[in-house]
Amino acid sequence: MIFTYQRTVRFPDTDAAGVVYFANSLSICHEAYEESLRQSGINIKTFFTHPSVAFPIVHANVDFLRPMYCGDDLMISLIPQKISVDKFNIAYEITVNEVMVAKAMTRHVCIDVNSRSKQELPDEIIFWLETNRRDAEGAERRKSREEIM
């Protein structure tokens, strides 16, 4: 199963155009990443509050297909992928009632917070990457089989 995170659009997510403010949709994707880490057994407080090792975002992109409104129930799916010894990507898809409304991607680099120099991904992140990757590949294989039959 691909990891998915359910999130209702709230009033503070919106702007005067009456829809989710574009940059807030990236924050909603980040929430999915946080929840995925938590379900992998990572302590979120330690991970995000003044850690010694961090995973800052060095690139992000997002495509908007349809507007999202206050009260919409979003499903955010997430597939992470290891890129190198010190980098990973996360691909996100946001759907409402099974219709895709946005796609996004973030790239993260592992750094030592004090020196801000790159360092190798630690074991807990390798474990999270492999577990989610395997789950995503399993889901894709099942989907292919269903399409063949």
User: How far, in Å, CA of 147 to CA of 137, rounded?
Assistant: 15
- Report yes or no: 9 and 70 within 8 Å, Cβ to Cβ: yes
44 part of the interface to a copy of itself, by CB under 8 A? yes
Task: Please identify which residue in 1, 4, 6, 43 interacts with a copy of itself, judged by CB under 8 A.
Answer: 43
Q: For the CA atoms of 28, 31, 36, 38, what is the dihedral angle to 10 degrees?
A: -170
Q: Verify whether residue 73 is a known catalytic residue.
A: no
x/- track of binding to a copy of itself for residues 104-123 (CB under 8 A): --x------x--x-------
Pull the structure tokens for residue 124.
């807990």
Residue 75's identity, in one-letter code, is M
Q: Site residues (CB under 8 A) for a copy of itself?
A: 8, 10-12, 14-19, 21-24, 26-27, 30-31, 34-35, 38, 43-45, 47-51, 54, 56-64, 67, 69-72, 106, 113, 116
